[in-house]
Amino acid sequence: MATKPSIPKGTRDFSPAEMAKRNYIFNTIRDVFYLYGFQQIETPAMENLSTLMGKYGEEGDKLLFKIQNSGDYFSGLTDEELLSRNAAKLASKFCEKGLRYDLTVPFARYVVMHRDEITFPFKRFQIQPVWRADRPQKGRYREFYQCDADVVGSNSLLNEVELVQMIDAVFAKFGIRVCVKINNRKILTGIAEIIGEADKIVDITVAIDKLDKIGLDNVNAELASKGIAQEAIDKLQPIILLSGSNEEKLATLKTVLAGSETGLKGIEESEFILSRVAQLGMKAEVELDLTLARGLNYYTGAIFEVKALDVQIGSISGGGRYDNLTGVFGMDGMSGVGISFGADRIYDVLNQLDLYPKEAADATQLLFVNFGEAEAEYVLPFLFKVREAGIRAEIYPDSAKMKKQMSYANAKSVPFVAIAGENEMKEGKIMLKNMESGEQSLLTLVELITVIKG
């Protein structure tokens, strides 16, 4: 009768072992957010569709999970409307709510709704799941967590400096070697101004990005094929071939973009950010990279992206400066800058590089073996006391075979097992077994606590 249960495609269960790893990731990121003075908020999983629709483009609207209205969702619908079978149009009649698609739009909505309670600049972080009706594939899920930190209500470039330091701090804690790539939308705008091809900026960055793979001639050919004039391509040559240190790149750009006020502003901003983070001693590489064009419709100043050096994988963190977070909700002039950490990719990187801490921070440290009712009654006060001392401990609840209890200890990777039979009870002690070394010692309660607390 009962069918074998399953979960919706693109979603995941997380086992205790996976949760230990995920908690390690989220706790590490959260601790750095706190260290930098960011404060946590949470928003509901469900938002009104009026809040979500139209914010992610036409494609995004289709990827929203919509929640059917409770009760009679047919009310007010004519036969014609129903029989039209217009799925998109009728969804808006059947549904008023949807699951959040990212953390940015709910954050913008939050800022507008709570503007009178918030003290600006507002340094907020948010670590919550989001949902997208994307076609599931390897590494892409329909439910996944985002970890975002943003500062809104401040135009200071110190915020950019701090965010780059935060990126550095997070990946240093993980032990993941990374390169932080930095670009600036204003530099890209300057390039477009100089060559008179404002609408071609994405084509240009895509072509430049291929230099290493296809060589200069082919890059130039690709630019021409995209309808960029020969004169413009000529002007682009120093930019395509841009190389050397960040300082050298900026010096070249200053010459090329001398005629663009916006371009020079972008260079100045990048100089500020790069020089400050250099002074403060970054562990990560930091590289000015003009091919970085993520979120180009959205970002107005600095753009960040983080690549892992030792694993082939897409960017594992990214962000940038934006001008008008809340304009779509009728509140103008709220600029900000933020970054987002890709928890799922970081999970994969830590796995591939075997960088998880060997000792799970929250796992059981001590298991009391259960030999029967009398023995269990003898060990219960010990169990109570070791917990009072802060040791994570448990008793095997049933007086099962020793082998079964030891398998349980092994499956949970419990490092110490406490045994109390007739002899131990007579002496008022506990036999403690170190599961790694196999060593056993007969101990008093105080000794037991001392050994385990190391």
Window 28 to 87, contacts with its own copies (CB under 8 A): 34-37, 39-48, 50-51, 62-63, 65-68, 70-74, 77, 79, 82-83, 85, 87
Work out how close the CB of 82 gets to its own copies at its nearest, in angstroms, rounded to a whole number.
5
Residue 181 to residue 211: CA distance in whole angstroms: 17
* Number of residues that make up the chain: 454
Which one, 290 or 393, has the nearer CB to its own copies?
A: 393
* Residue 448 is a binding residue for its own copies (CB under 8 A): no
Q: Which of these ranges, 199-207, 293-301, 310-318, 382-390, lies near its own copies under the rule CB under 8 A?
A: 382-390
Whether the Cβ atoms of residue 306 and residue 179 lie closer than 8 Å to each other? yes
Of 258, 251, 300, the residue nearest 274 (C-alpha): 251
Site string for its own copies, 288-327 (x = CB under 8 A): ---------------------------------------x
Q: How far apart are CA 186 and CA 192, in angstroms?
A: 10
Strand order in the sheet with 299-308: 39-40, 122-131, 143-152, 336-341, 317-322, 299-308, 178-184, 285-288
**Residues in contact with its own copies, total (CB under 8 A)?**
115
CA atoms within 13 A on the CB side of 356: 22
Q: How far is the CB of 87 from its own copies (least distance, A)?
A: 5
Instruction: Let me know: does 405 contact 369? Beta carbons within 8 Å.
Output: yes
Output the smallest distance, CB 452 to its own copies, in A. Answer: 13
Cβ 113 to its own copies shortest distance, Å? 6
Q: Tell me which residues in 177-236 interact with its own copies (CB under 8 A).
A: none
**Footprint of its own copies on residues 233-272 (CB under 8 A)?**
none
| Cβ neighbours around 243 below 10 Å, total | 8
Residue 26 binds its own copies (CB under 8 A)? no
Is the CB of 72 or the CB of 217 nearer to its own copies?
A: 72
Instruction: Decide if residue 353 touches its own copies (CB under 8 A).
Output: no
Which residues, other chains included, contact 7 with Cβ-Cβ below 8 Å and sequence gap of 6+? 13
Is 133 a binding residue for its own copies by CB under 8 A? The answer is yes
Please identify which residue in 56, 93, 113, 252 interacts with its own copies, judged by CB under 8 A. 113
- Angstrom distance (rounded) from CA 32 to CA 169: 7
CB-nearer residue toward its own copies: 98 or 266: 98
From candidates 21, 124, 181, 185, binder to its own copies by CB under 8 A? 124
Dihedral sign for Cα 210, 211, 212, 216, please: positive
Q: Which member of 287, 344, 394, 447 binds its own copies (CB under 8 A)?
A: 394
Compute the least distance from the CB of residue 159 to its own copies, in Å: 5
Number of neighbouring beta carbons within 10 Å of residue 76: 8
Position among 302, 395, 417, 419 found at the interface with its own copies (CB under 8 A): 395
**Closest Cα partner for 257 from 276, 274, 242, 272?**
242
